[in-house]
Amino acid sequence: MSSNSENRESWNTRLGFIFAAIGSAVGLGNIWRFPYMTAESGGASFVLLYLFLLFLIGIPVMIAEFVIGRKTRRSPVKALASAGRYDWSPLGFLFVATGFIILSYYSVIAGWTLQYMVDSAGGIITDYDPGTYFDAISTGKRSIFYHTLFMVITTCIVLAGVKRGIENSVKFLIPTLVLLLAGLGFWAFFQPGSGEGYSFYLKPDLSTLFSSSFPYVNVQILADAAGQTFFTLSLGMGAMITYASYLSRDEDLVEETLIISLSNVCIAFLAGLIVFPIIAAFNLQGEIGQSTISTLFIAIPKAFQSIGGAWGSFLSFAFFGCLFLAALTSGISLLEVVTSTLIDQFDISRITASTTSGALIFILGIPAALNLGWLSLADQIAGNLLLMVGGFLLTLYVGWTMYEAGRELRKGLNIPVVGLWIALIRYIIPVVMFCLVLLAFWDISYGMLSDALPK
């Protein structure tokens, strides 16, 4: 494969591209990260804040990534080297490094979902105390084994290429995921006592967002909501640049962004409609807030356990199957960024590029498979901070140095929003993002400090 944009691979159909981008966006971020962040940060008010940031920042930044990708038809490093007045390839390398780190721990969590699936099918999940089970499987040899398995599956799909591997698999995986989630949401609705869960999830309590002393807003919630917006939409590390670089026709990028981001919100919302009613119906409120990463992996199996029997095992299998499918389509996009960069930079074959990057990421993930502290640190740094830094620099690039970004967006556009988009990308989002990056930085270093100090 050559780095020449003329013989670059491309999507077969528009729907294939849209499904692949939804697949990238919908992942553990929707089903695992979103509900626990919502639970930690006061329920519905967090959801509102997240929606606000989605429209203010998420959608315009996604459009920006699509514009770069389609205009240059190159992977992020080459794209950022060539599309503007200055060579911004270092930003492309930051993207690749971020993707590298994210996939390394993402794959470990995805490996847990595989273990839960396998053990649900064998009836094991409903036999053990979920806390003990989680402690036993989340780190150590088993965790490494399933991390390996996940990386192997992901690499095989990426290796098969854009059309044959990615497009064909997401076309089947996404509809399956939506059907499974809808089925589980329907089931959760009929559980006695689920009502309280809906009210926590859907009734905002704005007081959690503000505080009476400086800086008057709850910094952690704001930083988390911003980080979540980037993480869940797969922004800030070039995944959407890469996917858009395989577009061969000029379609309406704004329409596509709206379809992708709103589908992503709907699926996260649906995940909340499963998780919160279950928590309320099975009295698992005590589980929330004890730990962050493990909430879903410990609380939800408790519900399936109290149902018990074949039905409990089946529901557990379906739930973790959803998580696995969602994680797979996201893992594919993370690996594709690294793979396509290697192909473009070194002019090597897709097979060499994907297996090399898969193997390196696998190795980098081993510490996360052995230690949960490492995993959550990597998530805070790469999954929160680096994505926001990447997003901030990307808006500066597109707003201030890229050639003809507006003209590229105008191609195929039915909704006349170019002026609005440019104003947002140039003036508003960089300022907001700069503050958010500082907040995230403060939040992380403050968190580390308070962990280090004796209580």
Binding-site ranges for ligand TRP (CB under 6 A): 24-25, 27-30, 102, 231-232, 234, 237, 239, 330, 333-334, 387
Q: Specify the residue, 253 or 325, whose C-beta has the smaller distance to ligand TRP.
A: 325
Q: Specify the residue, 24 or 313, whose C-beta has the smaller distance to ligand TRP.
A: 24
Q: Specify the residue, 305 or 339, whose C-beta has the smaller distance to ligand TRP.
A: 339
Nearest approach in angstroms of CB 75 to ligand TRP is 14
**Gap between the Cα atoms of 145 and 227, Å rounded:** 30
Tell which residue, 50, 31, 100, has the closest CA to residue 327.
31
Q: Specify the residue, 27 or 399, whose C-beta has the smaller distance to ligand TRP.
A: 27
| Cross-strand bridge partners of residue 84 | 402
- Please enumerate in sequence order all residues whose Cβ is within 8 A of that of 435, keeping only pairs 6 or more positions apart, or say none: none
Q: How many Cβ atoms from other residues are within 10 Å of residue 140's Cβ?
A: 13
Nearest approach in angstroms of CB 232 to ligand TRP is 4
Q: Specify the residue, 57 or 281, whose C-beta has the smaller distance to ligand TRP.
A: 57
Burial 339-369 (b: 16+ CB within 10 A, else e): bbbbbbbeeeebeebbbbbbeebbebbbbbb
Nearest approach in angstroms of CB 330 to ligand TRP is 4
Q: Specify the residue, 312 or 391, whose C-beta has the smaller distance to ligand TRP.
A: 391
Nearest approach in angstroms of CB 296 to ligand TRP is 13
Nearest approach in angstroms of CB 103 to ligand TRP is 8
- What is the SS3 assignment for 28? helix
Contact (Cβ atoms closer than 8 angstroms) between residue 317 and residue 113: no
Q: Specify the residue, 116 or 133, whose C-beta has the smaller distance to ligand TRP.
A: 116
Nearest approach in angstroms of CB 406 to ligand TRP is 25
Distance between first and last Cα of the chain? 57
Q: Which H or E run contains 103?
A: helix 89-121
Nearest approach in angstroms of CB 383 to ligand TRP is 7
- DSSP letters for 256-291: HHHHHHHHHHHHHHHHHHHHHHHHHHTT-GGGBTTB
Nearest approach in angstroms of CB 356 to ligand TRP is 19
Nearest approach in angstroms of CB 179 to ligand TRP is 19
Q: For residue 89, what are the CA distances in angstroms to 67, 388, 420? A: 17, 17, 27
Nearest approach in angstroms of CB 410 to ligand TRP is 27
Q: Specify the residue, 281 or 375, whose C-beta has the smaller distance to ligand TRP.
A: 375
Q: Specify the residue, 305 or 340, whose C-beta has the smaller distance to ligand TRP.
A: 340
Q: What is the DSSP letter of 54?
A: I
- DSSP letters for 104-119: HHHHHHHHHHHHHHHH
Contact (Cβ atoms closer than 8 angstroms) between residue 84 and residue 402: yes
What is the longest distance spanned by two Cα atoms in the chain? 64
Structural tokens at position 4: 């020449």
| Cross-strand bridge partners of residue 402 | 84
Q: What is the DSSP letter of 84?
A: B
**Gap between the Cα atoms of 178 and 263, Å rounded:** 10
- What is the SS3 assignment for 220? helix
Q: Specify the residue, 299 or 328, whose C-beta has the smaller distance to ligand TRP.
A: 328
Amino acid at 412: G
